[in-house]
Each structure stands twice: as C-alpha cells, then as structure tokens.
Amino acid sequence: MRQRTGTDEFMDITAKERVEQAPREAAPGVDRLDVTAVNAPETRPLYAAREKVYAKRAFGTFRTVKWAVMAVTLGIYYLLPWMRWDRGPSLSDQAVLIDFPNRRFFFFFLEIWPQEFYFITGLLILAALALFLVTALAGRVWCGYTCPQTVWTDLMIAVERLWQGDRNARMRLDKAPWTFSKIWRKAGTHASWLAISITTGGAFVFYFRDAPTLMAEFIAFDAPSIAYIFVGIFAATTYLLGGIAREQVCIYMCPWPRIQGAMFDQYSLLVSYREWRGEQRGPHKKGESWEGRGDCIDCRQCVAVCPTGIDIRDGAQLECIQCALCIDACNSIMDKIDRPRGLIAYDTIDNLEAESKGKATSLHLLRPRLLLYAALIALVSLIMLVALWNRSVLEVNVLRDRNPLFVELSDGGIRNGYTIKILNKRHESREFRVGTEGLLGATLRIVGFENDTDPTISVPVDELRALRVFVTLPKQNLPSLKGGVADFEIVITDLGDGSTVRNDTTFRSPAK
C-alpha cells in the first residue's frame, strides 16, 4: 500500500466535491471562479511526440529469412515489368501488364478481359483466405515478413545503417552537433531513401505501360504526365511511410493490427516471451547459480532490435508485428551465457501455460478453424482452376432482340433479330461462319453481308465483333413451333480449325 499523501487525497476528491468545498469568495466581496488554466501542469498533454526507435541490427535464423524474403519480394516488384512474354506481333510482349487503354490484363500465358475480372476477385479471395490461415497458424506472419511496409522499412533501416552506423552510432549522431560528418551522413541517408522511393514509384508505373518504352520516355522527359504523377505519389509515400513514419504506420494507420484479435487464438504460434522460464529476471554474475532465478538477464537486446521499439516481455501487444527479430537477439545472448535457446520463441498461449505447469505441449494443427480455411482455399482454388481450364479463347454472346420480339413479314413469315458478339481472344486473326441448327426452314441473314449467301466473318486479333443477324421462318414452317416458340442453336464455326461454338437461343412468333 502506498502512503497517502496530501496531494493524493486531493486527487481523489471529485470535481463536484471540490466545487462544493472550495470557498465561494476569494476575499470578502471578490468571487472565486471555478476555472483552471487549460495548460495547467496537472493536465497532461493529449498528444505525444514520437519517440524515435533506433532498431539494432539482429543476426540469426529469422533475420536471414527476412533478408531472403526482402530479396525475393523486392526483386519481383522491381524486375517483373521487364520480363518479356511473346504474344505475337500485334500484342504487348510484357509478361505482366495492366493495359488500361485497351482494357486488358496480361499475366504471362493469361490474358484477362474486363468481363473476366472474376479471376482477379477469386485471386483476392484466395489471398484473404491465405492470410486468415497463416494468421490463425502463426500470427502476423504477413506483418512481420512480407508486408510492403515492413519490407521497405527494413530496406530503409539497412540503408540508414550503411550511412550512419548501428543503433549506438545513430543515437550518438542524433545527439551530436551539426558537423560536416553529420550533415553528409544524414544527407546521404535521405538521398538514398529518395532514390529508392523514386525507383519504387517508377517500378509501379512500369506495370501499366510497356516498360522499355516508358523508360525511354522518362529518359527523354516526354512520358505522359500521369506517369510522373504516379511516380511522384509512390515515391512520396515510400519515402514518407518507409523512411520516416515506419512503425507509426503499423501502430496508428493500419487497420490490420485491430483485426488480429479475431484471427488468432490460444493455439496460434506467436512470438512469445516464456515468462515461466525468464522470471525472476535480473543481471547474472559470472559463476552465480541459475537456481532460483529466471534465464532472462534483462540485457534488453530484444527491445533494442525491435523495429517498433516495444518490449516483448510485456506480452502480446498491438504494436508487435511479430517479425521475430527479438528471437534472434535473445538466442544469440542465450548462446553467450550458455543457457538453452528459446527464451523468446514462436509458441502458443496454450502451450505457454502448459509449460509453466510442467505439462506436455501440443500444436493442435487440426483445429476446425485451420481445416475450414484450408478447405475454403482448396475449394476456391479448384473453382478457379476449373474456370481457367474451361476458359474459351473464343467467346460468343447471342443477345435476342426483345423489342420487337418478332416481326411479321408481308408474306406471313416471321423474322427474329439477334445481336451476336464474337470475342476473339486468340493472338491471331480468325475467320468464322455463322449458321443455325435445330430450326427447320430457317434462313439466316447478317446485316452488311446481304449479297453474300455464305459470308465469312473475320475477327481481328484480340477484338470483339458485333453482328446483327436476322433469322426468318417462312409461313408454312410456323405451325411446327409449339406455342409459337422454338429453341435452336446459333453455331459459330472457326474456319481455321473447324471448331464450333454453340449458343442456345429461342425463336418466337405470335402465339396462336
């Protein structure tokens, strides 16, 4: 129990009581107002200055994994637009290209038309489910290893270290007066950050326009202004978020940490401090026994390497992006003091409790949640694969005229109108013949080909051609329609390889 002091007592009095107890008059005839200064010292500021985090360099397994992930993800991001993929003479040879002017998305062997955007939707659903699965399994793996914010921040810190040295050197430099050495080290850091940022923004726009062409335009300063705008936006955000704001993004801007609570449970592998092993913490003298005390020597290496500047020993917390660098830091210390590794490790809340009681631990990999996520991923992948497999490179849409439904001709025959859209998704021009099947006595006429009895319709590479088609049934064939309606097929034959696409539609006449 704390000793109650006079001030504490005063603090415990509520505002209401204080007003009642305070004398109404400061002096005879002088009112005492119930008012205090807005900036009174007891009012703590509502806004806190950011405490700069000087992340120390870590060495170990997870740091190596993170370097590898950084190399792979940044490598893909920066280099992918330069990859070529042959699609014939009339189409772009860029492997991955989001072609807005022509409304196409090229992805290696795939070419997605706007109406096939569901492939992208499916991909996003898969990504979301994978995120759920990984988070339920091992916490914020995405945050800690692959999130662009983490990767670029890591890169910016690495560059900063090159110019200014590791944690202690950086802290000294920040306190030091502005000498020439400090100026060029700081300037060099920011110049490098800006260079990285501009490269990042540049790489982004290459996904939207042929990369070599755009590069040449950039060099000649005649690229479209929108390209410069987007390079500017992405350069600015990379510099600001990766270089300057860093952990502030994760803590204050990103919604993902807030969603975490629903994502992992007591069986998820989280970066955890094994309190049962570490406490009582405290400095350890050479030769001193480890009996009766914890393995944690309170060296605070785990805090020093943390990119968000927190103490993992305080337990799971919102600020922790689970990058596992504290595991690396702690393990290297455990090696030095000859204690077993894993004082900080990936562990589950359930196991931490079991370990502290000396019970057996288990991983619970067959949890319903994991199985459900895995099953959903398998299902969505299967649907996507089937859709991809059945994706035709020739698409035909037949739109029946609804106004008028049918037209009665002067000889008593009935004519129906259709709009046929042929999408040639192949990378070569194709020729087609249009016919009907299943409607006895029907004649077919294509607008624009009136003089041609058996017209050949050519559709250029990667284009859509719309045809107006009239199907006429003479008067004597009308009684064969049941209820005035008949189903039939419009058949599109590819003259190149003889393949056909059949489209079911109906023929209508006045019901009699």
Q: Which residues bind other proteins (CB under 8 A)?
A: 7-8, 10-12, 41-50, 245, 248, 252, 401-404, 407-412, 415, 417, 447-448, 468, 470
Q: List Cβ neighbours of 103 (8 Å cut-off, separation of 6 or more).
A: 113, 114
Q: How far is the CB of 12 from other proteins (least distance, A)?
A: 8
- Give the tokens for residue 155: 């890169």
- DSSP secondary structure code for residue 13 in this structure: S
Residue 352 or 467: which CB sits closer to other proteins?
467
Residue 252 or 290: which CB sits closer to other proteins?
252
Residue 6 or 498: which CB sits closer to other proteins?
6
- The β-bridge partners of 436 are 490
Q: How far is the CB of 268 from other proteins (least distance, A)?
A: 24
Q: How far is the CB of 14 from other proteins (least distance, A)?
A: 8
Residue 47 or 180: which CB sits closer to other proteins?
47
- Give the tokens for residue 193: 């950050």
d(CA 139, CA 268): 6
- Give the tokens for residue 217: 């335009």
Q: How far is the CB of 402 from other proteins (least distance, A)?
A: 8
Q: How far is the CB of 44 from other proteins (least distance, A)?
A: 5
Question: Cα 40 to the chain's mean position, in Å?
Answer: 46
Count how many Cα atoms sit within 13 Å of the Cα of residue 372 in the half-sphere of its side chain: 5
Residue 182 or 445: which CB sits closer to other proteins?
445
**Residue labelled with tokens 């029907």:** 442
- The β-bridge partners of 435 are 491
Residue 92 or 419: which CB sits closer to other proteins?
419
Residue 286 or 402: which CB sits closer to other proteins?
402
Question: Cα 465 to the chain's mean position, in Å?
Answer: 36
Whole-number CA gyration radius for the chain:
35
What element of type H or E holds 496? Answer: none
Backbone angles phi, psi at 430, to 5 degrees: -130, 155
Closest CA to 56 of 252, 317, 330: 330
Q: How far is the CB of 482 from other proteins (least distance, A)?
A: 22
Residue 214 or 469: which CB sits closer to other proteins?
469
d(CA 193, CA 126): 33
- Give the tokens for residue 312: 């993992």
Cα distance from N-terminal residue to C-terminal residue, the chain: 99
Residue 40 or 219: which CB sits closer to other proteins?
40
Q: How far is the CB of 301 from other proteins (least distance, A)?
A: 25
Q: How far is the CB of 110 from other proteins (least distance, A)?
A: 29
Q: How far is the CB of 501 from other proteins (least distance, A)?
A: 22
Ramachandran assignment for 342, one of left (phi > 0), alpha (psi -120 to 50 degrees), beta (any other): left
Structural contact between residues 154 and 307, judged by C-beta atoms closer than 8 angstroms:
yes
